[in-house]
Amino acid sequence: LDVIAAVEPGVAGAIRGELADQRASLKLIASENYASPAVLLTMGTWLSDKYAEGTIGHRFYAGCQNIDTVERLAADHAKALFGAEHAYVQPHSGIDANLVAFWGILAHRVESPALAAAGARHVNDLSEDDWETLRKALGDQRALGMSLDAGGHLTHGFRPNISGKMFHQRSYGTDPETGLLDYDALRATAREFRPLVLIAGYSAYPRRVDFARMREIADEVGAVLMVDMAHFAGLVAGKVFTGVHDPVPYAHVTTTTTHKSLRGPRGGLVLCQREYADSIDRGCPMVLGGPLGNVMAAKAVALAEARQVAFADYAHAVAANAVALAEGLVRRGVRLVTGGTDNHLVLLDVSTYGLTGRQAESALLDAGIVTNRNAIPRDPNGAWYTSGIRVGTPALTSRGFGPQEFDRVAELIVGVLTDTTPSSTSKAKYDLPPGTAGKTRAAAAELLTAHP
Ligand code: PLP
């Protein structure tokens, strides 16, 4: 840090500040974790300096042998860990991984047949008329993904994201009574809409998905099944999700981030069945810039960690802790979306406390509990203020928290929600007595000190 401080003390200060914040608060954001020292150190290395557009052994630059080594290691670990036929580890983030997947699917399902029909090997060989026809066909495809308020992600075909601009989009949701995925309604929508891509996966759905059923629906309408397992990849890696709950054997293409429950560096990767490999490998330079050698190396380290027995223990603890947290909340009167969890996250409906998600999120932060507000199904407060709070167990489980500690966390959350009074004029303002905030911070510090 002294080396950094000598150049820009503000950055050194922010790094110190982040470390202090992470030490002093209960990190319950479901998409966050603590990467290991080995992963963090790997990112701060000279592998960052090298340009390496292209794929392993097939680069547009000279001297890429070390990048080839780390990219191959990361891909091999990913394939072995998830039992995948092919892995592409270059995406810089989850959004990038989804973009590579979408364009890889379009290349395989729309572009390649068009080239074959025109007797061309490359798009540059197409006549102007054939190229126009192909461009129109690429822009005329349909995608069906989980709705945002049911827990889907912005990249699953929604208008503010490029995916919603690329595809004609429809969404499927959850049963209004149970909050669970409604496969029959999904099947009916798929039959009528006939998407090219059926997207499964979520950011805020607290349950497992039956991917065999998803594949059946995709096959019935001739769609490609793409699963975005960004949130629960750690549970797949740790064999908590097996059989029909493991997406990799069922999806044509599976994407993930590497930094959430998988506990690696910030980044993404794409797994796919062999027939999609060539199209997916065109990610850079199709939609990605030059790969980040340092981050691919850190992915290799994290994936190697995830192949160790200790990681499976960790993943099972993440799921068991989520159950303890959910039960602790329900026992104390909190309404949970779907009534519980069988993954790593829990979604609280805070409207029963008269609060918006925004008010609850801020009050909890004042008390040293870091969460994020999240829309709940058919949320009357919309996506900005929301009526929900999403909490997850991956980070605190990495610190060694067990079911007992998570029950205490539930008690602290309920204490804050109960003592928070919403403003009558603003969906953002609230009053939390300083005594409650202070007491909760002290209790959080006690838990954190016991699990440094
Ligand atoms: N996919 C899902 C399901 C996510 O939850 C997220 C992020 O929260 C992403 C993709 C995007 O990941 P990133 O922020 O790395 O682009």
- Nearest atom in ligand 1 to the alpha carbon of residue 93 is 15
Q: Which ligand 1 atom lies nearest to the CA of residue 259?
A: 15
Low-confidence ranges of the chain (pLDDT < 50): none
Any bridge partners for residue 391, and if so which?
A: 346
Q: Cα–Cα distances in Å, from 320 out to 281, 323, 344, 407? A: 37, 5, 8, 12
For 400-409, b/e burial (b = at least 16 CB within 10 A) is ebebebbbbb
Q: Max alpha carbon distance in the chain (Å)?
A: 75
Ligand 1 closest atom vs CA 156: 1
User: What atom of ligand 1 comes closest to residue 202's alpha carbon?
Assistant: 3
Binding residues for (6S)-5,6,7,8-tetrahydrofolate: 148, 152-154
Q: How far is the CA of 173 from the centre of ligand 1 (A)?
A: 19
**Cis previous bond, 285, omega within 30:** yes
Q: What pLDDT does 197 receive? A: 98
Tokens matching residue 24: 């002093």
Contact of 228 with 198, CB cutoff 8 Å: no
User: In testing the pocket of ligand 1, which one of 163, 257, 269 has its CB within 8 Å of the most ligand atoms?
Assistant: 257
CA of 257 to the centre of ligand 1 (A): 6
Nearest protein Cα to ligand 1, atom 14 = 94
What pLDDT shows up at residue 90?
Answer: 98
* Predicted local distance difference test score (pLDDT) of residue 184: 96
User: 108 vs 100, 101, 133, 282, CA distance in Å?
Assistant: 12, 10, 16, 11
Calculate ∠ Cα 95-295-343, nearest 5°: 55
Q: Given the DSSP bridges, would you call strands 26-27 and 369-370 parallel, antiparallel or unpaired? A: parallel
Q: How far is the CA of 258 from the centre of ligand 1 (A)?
A: 10
Pocket residue to mutate for ligand 1, from 33, 95, 269, most atoms within 8 A of Cβ: 95
Pairing of strands 86-88, 268-272: antiparallel
Query: What pLDDT score does 277 carry?
Result: 98
The side-by-side arrangement of strands in the sheet containing 268-272 is 86-88, 268-272, 253-257, 224-228, 197-201, 142-146, 168-172
State the binding site: 148, 152-154
pLDDT at 300: 98
Catalytic residues: 51, 53, 228, 257, 260, 266
Please answer whether residues 55 and 40 qualify as being in contact, where contact means their C-beta atoms are separated by less than 8 angstroms: no
Which residues are CB-neighbours of 192 under 8 A, at least 6 positions away?
Answer: none
Q: Is the pTM of this model over 0.80?
A: yes
- The four Cα atoms 235, 240, 242, 244 give a dihedral, to 10 degrees, of -70
Torsions phi, psi for 143 (to 5 deg): -130, 145
Please list every protein residue whose CB sits less than 6 Å from any atom of ligand 1: 31, 93-95, 153, 155, 201, 203, 228, 230-231, 257, 268
Ligand 1 center to 117 CA (angstroms): 36
pLDDT score recorded for residue 239: 98
Residues 187 and 220: beta-carbon distance below 8 Å: yes
